[in-house]
A and B are shown apart, each in its own frame.
Chain A
Amino acid sequence: MKRTMVSLILIILFILAVVLGDLWFMSSYAEGMNDRLDALLEAKTLEEKKSCALDLDAFFEKRNFWAHRLVPTGRMEELETLLHKLNAYLKTDDAHEVEATVAEIRSRVNLLYSTAIYHWHHPTEFCIE
């Protein structure tokens, strides 16, 4: 019985660690990406935009290992492709494409969240002005 209880407690701790870790990581990941995307959109000059894009890439690379442990590889690869695309549009200084790509990255980042909890906490709004 003692062995069973010890096994059960260890399993509960493992599951709690994974679930809470997933919630915390995805929340901070989405927040970090969204903050950097907002900073990129608010940047006035091209140099500022490029600097924000570098910051975004650095953040993405830094969190890449743990993101791959929690998110399907396909979705991360799509995100990486979009970041490359964003950098390409920044090089050509295409403001409209940059804005559209930022919006696409933002929606994919928010959809990365594995449960619907993030959507409830940060509801996305569709908006055409």
Chain B
Amino acid sequence: MLVSVFRCIVLYIAVILAVRIMGKRQIGELQPSELVITIMISELAALPMQDLNMPLLWGIMPMFLMVGLELLLSSLTLKSMRFRALCYGKPVLLIYQGKINQQELLRTRVSMEDIMEAMRGNGILKVEDVWTAVLETNGTVSIIPKPEAAPPTSRDLNIQVSETGGIPMILVMNGFILQKNLLERSISEIQLNEILNGYQIELEQVFMLTIDDSGKTFLVKQEIR
């Protein structure tokens, strides 16, 4: 039984490592080959976990071989557009300039229900409001509305808006100072203490403290101890 526990831990670490090497993607955005590799990695990890007769290397080696092949394939697709089209396919225009391309719908086996589902996800209810619908290589449908059906931007309304403060950075989390982020924002611990004094709060009482590019801070107190 101890062998089984040890194998589970080793294979768990190996799967995490393999998925980290492959890079960050959400399941819905994976290319077909990436989805296949992800499923195969989990199958390969399960085999030596269940069958104690099988050497651990027989599961780990094929797993990393799959990851290596995927890395090679994705690198080659970056270098060659033709190879990328061969492996991943090309996006297909299902609706263009408001006109439904029925031939492409038939060829790609996409129904109008699939398109309307994508439309609802984008907040569009009427087909006549769609300018372009694209079937992407990962199987999702992108919807671009007609200009008259799209929400107006501040530019369209000729409204002057203030600049955003940029991406906020966490300085303190659960009472712990994130030194790397302090360094990134060139804030010393003395300055941090001054910020905390401004909020009249101790470091241990801080759940989260963020700062944006304009120097504006945001603090959340600890509720659970």
Contact pattern, B 11-55, Cβ under 8 Å of A = 1, otherwise 0:
000000000010000000000000000000000000000001111
Interchain pairs with CB closer than 8 A, number: 43
Q: Tell me the complex Cα distance, A1–B79, Å.
A: 11
From B61, B67, B68, A18 is in contact (CB under 8 Å) with B61
Q: Tell me the complex Cα distance, A19–B57, Å.
A: 10
Total interface residues on B, using CB and 8 Å? 17
* With A15-B61, A15-B68: A7-B55 Cβ-Cβ less than 8 Å: no
Residues on B with C-beta less than 8 A from A1 are 75, 78
Q: Does A14 lie within 8 Å of B56, measured CB to CB? A: no
Q: Does A11 lie within 8 Å of B68, measured CB to CB? A: yes
Q: Tell me the complex Cα distance, A124–B68, Å.
A: 36
Q: Does B67 lie within 8 Å of A11, measured CB to CB? A: yes
* With A4-B75, A7-B21: A70-B57 Cβ-Cβ less than 8 Å: yes
Contact pattern, B 123-149, Cβ under 8 Å of A = 1, otherwise 0:
000000000000000000000000000
From B55, B64, B67, B75, A72 is in contact (CB under 8 Å) with B55
Q: Does A68 lie within 8 Å of B55, measured CB to CB? A: yes
* Interface check B8, CB cutoff 8 A: no
Q: Tell me the complex Cα distance, A18–B68, Å.
A: 14
Total interface residues on A, using CB and 8 Å? 18
Q: Tell me the complex Cα distance, A1–B77, Å.
A: 12
Interface SS of A by simple majority:
helix
* Interface check A73, CB cutoff 8 A: yes
* With A4-B75, A8-B75: A69-B57 Cβ-Cβ less than 8 Å: yes
* Interface check B71, CB cutoff 8 A: yes
* Interface check A103, CB cutoff 8 A: no
Residues on B with C-beta less than 8 A from A71 are 55
29 CB < 8 A contacts A-B: A1-B75, A1-B78, A4-B71, A4-B74, A4-B75, A5-B75, A7-B21, A7-B67, A7-B71, A11-B64, A11-B68, A11-B71, A14-B64, A15-B61, A15-B65, A15-B68, A18-B57, A19-B61, A68-B55, A69-B55, A69-B56, A70-B55, A70-B57, A71-B55, A72-B53, A72-B54, A72-B55, A73-B52, A74-B53
